[in-house]
Amino acid sequence: MKAYRIHVQGIVQAVGFRPFIYRIAHEHNLRGYVKNLGDAGVEIVVEGQEEDIEAFIQDIYRKKPPLARVDRLEKKEIPPQGFPEFYIEKSSKGGSGGDSIIPPDIAICEDCLRELFDPTNKRYMYPFIVCTNCGPRFTIIEDLPYDRENTTMREFPMCDFCESEYKDPLNRRYHAEPVCCPVCGPSYRLYTSDGKEITGDPLRKAAELIDKGYIVAIKGIGGIHLACDATNEEVVAELRKRTFRPQKPFAIMADSLETVKSFAYVSKEEEEELTSYRRPIITLRKKEPFPLPENLAPRLHTIGVMLPYAGTHYILFHWSKSKVYVMTSANYPGMPMVKNNEKAFEELKDIADYLLLHNRKILNRADDSVIRFVDGKRAVIRRSRGFVPLPIEIPFEYRGLAVGAELMNAFGIAKNGKVYPSQYIGNTGKVEVLEFMRRAIEHFKRILRVKELDLIIADLHPAYNTTKLAMELANEMDVELLQVQHHYAHIASVLAERKIESAVGIALDGVGYGTDGNVWGGEVLYLSYEDVERLTHIDYYPLPGGDLASYYPLRALMGILSKVYSIEELEGVIRKCCPKAVESLKYGEVEFSVILNQLAKGINLSHASSTGRVLDSLAVLLNIAYRRHYEGEPAMKLESFAMKGKNDLKFEIPVEDGLIMAEELFVQVLEVLDRASPADIAYSAHLALARAFADTAIEKAREFGVKDVAISGGVSYNELIVKTIRKAVEGSGLRFHATTEVPRGDNGINVGQAFLGGLYLEGYLSREDLML
């Protein structure tokens, strides 16, 4: 007889791992026990014949539960202790700094969905139905080990029926911590906006109200959504008015994949993602003619769609005539999604006509994740519900906090060769969001058992609230602070995910504070374990009014054109080509005159190499968009317009003295503006920008002797630009890389920051390398 102690780390809690071990131990005639070790994973002690133990270990890998992941398995021979049987031991409450990973929130499984609509089942039409294979995890957990008393479910003592399933190792609800039923679990109530409860079946009545054209706030797994009938153009317009979102696309939820395919094109890869346990929002290409109201996603060729992921959603659609709901986060622009009942009545009374609320606390807010497929590959835009808190591996062993960017923020905790990105935090320029971030950092440190830090990493921008927070935390904790340049972190995130040690990087976005104090955003960089260099960029152009140019892109257009036209010529071009842009300025003609004066005298100007502002400027010149109501709006509408183009007009952007002369693109556009199709012009401008960056990156890769080219930044969600660059890079014999797990925009900056922090602590790169 042999005996072994086996230590397993990975996703081994809250996924049915212990009952799985129990079953296969019995199958192989083994004795001993299995127990959770809190954050340190799972411990298994087995006694039996050597060949049975080896077969048992093989089955751990081959037959593990679908949501489980074994990252590390270590075994050590020990003396036999004479166990009479194999059993499941109570969890250990200790923490040893290990790597046990809490799974994310998981969409309802097929077994639970079948039971949900089975009239003979005890949980028939019960919206909180769950088992070991599905349901909330991250959003309800307060601490490790993942036991009921450490979740918000501790407020709902199990009835005898639920407890019998919970304690049965052969039941699929064995130690499913959120397990409950109508007798003992959470419940919904339906209220008017002024707090009066409505009697009757709350979900059925909520569905009827949505069908009648009302806006209903619905509390779900990670927060509260605002829902209405997505087929009703008038109610969609009313929702826009109440939420102050005149243009921002609304996410919609469809009752089935079949319904989605009636209004959008769905590739095989998109279908797999839509129906995965993550159930993210996927931006799909609209069918033409688009059968739903255009005001769901005004002037865009895509629509953000998700499928139901909780019993609540399936029940609502069961009672509803509508097959498609708007399902957007319940918050005012820039503010955190509402998650508490008390706050819901306070903050949503002027938005929602009715509120459908349950009485289970949401401990950790988690917005819906958003994904787009770009050039056939997954590109994560917002990494939150369904992903968090799964880690990204990095080759550095240290404990650190990467606070991320200012907008689209998520921070990351580095520990034991992994980065654990947080849920979506948002715009940290808002005090309420920054406070949410502080609380979330403390929560992550607690569940990851990180008490002390080796390093805090922040952006180089001195005015970012995240940078200021990092400075405060560094002082409070007496931890070293490292600031790294924004675009270095973008490219570093690709090196981290793709596990490459050097690359020429193309970093394309709207704004990033440069090491020279200017606004970067159109960069070709070299990054390796031993060096980081800025190689090429869009030649600087003036931005009158600085950050105002991101909201009123006419300012950026005028700045770019001022490089090639006199002030008088510039005024004539604007008045001839895009006079409505002048009207769009807050102060109209007066403001237009001020901008011309600023450019003439060189006062109140920033200087930028931003690709985002170049695309915004083209949107103005082609009369596609004049204002930015949401992040990336003009460039996104330009891309949608360009997708209608067919003919490449062969615009060429020269590279002179190592600088990409983007203003020359505008000269060429103006030359054909009167005779070429505007869609062809937009299409051709995208290709020209892409070719300029691709050709430069290929040249520099050869110069530096590297085989890898990486792209990152907000513009790397653009289909036309990414596809053109990828084809050119691969056509030259180089390897092209973009992330598929880490967000390409600012939501993924934290991973790059953590990677650069590791390079710094290991002595590969100096502080000066990352700031100069």
pLDDT, tens only, 119-154: 999 999 999 999 999 999 999 999 887 889 999 999
> How long a stretch of residues is the chain?
772
Q: What pLDDT shows up at residue 641?
A: 97
pLDDT confidence band for 22 (50 / 70 / 90) = very high
**d(Cα 548, Cα 244) in Å, to the nearest integer?**
20
pLDDT confidence band for 205 (50 / 70 / 90) = very high
The DSSP code sequence of 541-571 is EEEETTTHHHHSTHHHHHHHHTTTS-HHHHH
Q: Is the pLDDT of residue 94 over 60?
A: no
Mean pLDDT of 256-261: 98
Q: Is the pLDDT of residue 772 over 80?
A: no
Q: Is the pLDDT of residue 736 over 90?
A: yes
pLDDT confidence band for 36 (50 / 70 / 90) = confident
At 612, phi and psi to the nearest 5? -60, -45
Mean pLDDT of 711-735: 98
> What residues contact residue 738 under an 8 Å CB cut-off, 6+ apart?
374, 377, 379, 494, 710, 711, 712, 716, 722, 726, 744
CA 671 vs CA 573, 664, 666: distances in Å: 11, 11, 9
Kindly report the pTM of this predicted structure: 0.93
Q: Is the pLDDT of residue 441 over 70?
A: yes
Q: What pLDDT shows up at residue 93?
A: 58
Q: Which two tokens stand for residue 161?
A: 């029926």
Q: Is the pLDDT of residue 197 over 80?
A: yes
Q: Which two tokens stand for residue 582?
A: 């002048």
**d(Cα 383, Cα 409) in Å, to the nearest integer?**
10
Q: What is the pLDDT of residues 152-182, one digit of tens each?
A: 999 999 999 999 999 998 899 988 999 999 9
pLDDT confidence band for 698 (50 / 70 / 90) = very high
Q: What pLDDT shows up at residue 377?
A: 97
Q: Which two tokens stand for residue 511?
A: 């704004």
Query: Bridge-partner residues for 712, per DSSP?
Result: 507
Q: If you ran DSSP here, which 8-state letter would residue 604 be given? A: S
Q: What pLDDT shows up at residue 41?
A: 87
Q: What pLDDT shows up at residue 665?
A: 98
**d(Cα 735, Cα 722) in Å, to the nearest integer?**
14
**d(Cα 300, Cα 635) in Å, to the nearest integer?**
11
**d(Cα 185, Cα 159) in Å, to the nearest integer?**
9
Mean pLDDT of 202-217: 98
SS3 percent helix, strand, coil of the chain, rounded to 5, is 35, 20, 40
Q: What pLDDT shows up at residue 534?
A: 97
Q: Is the pLDDT of residue 96 over 60?
A: no
Q: Is the pLDDT of residue 91 over 90?
A: no
Q: What pLDDT shows up at residue 277?
A: 94
Query: Bridge-partner residues for 512, per DSSP?
Result: 520
User: How high does pLDDT run on average in the chain?
Assistant: 95
Q: What is the pLDDT of residues 259-309, one digit of tens each?
A: 999 999 999 999 999 999 999 999 999 999 999 999 999 999 999 999 999
Mean pLDDT of 745-757: 98
- The closest alpha carbon to 504, from 529, 533, 483, belongs to 533
Mean pLDDT of 568-595: 96
Q: What pLDDT shows up at residue 685?
A: 98
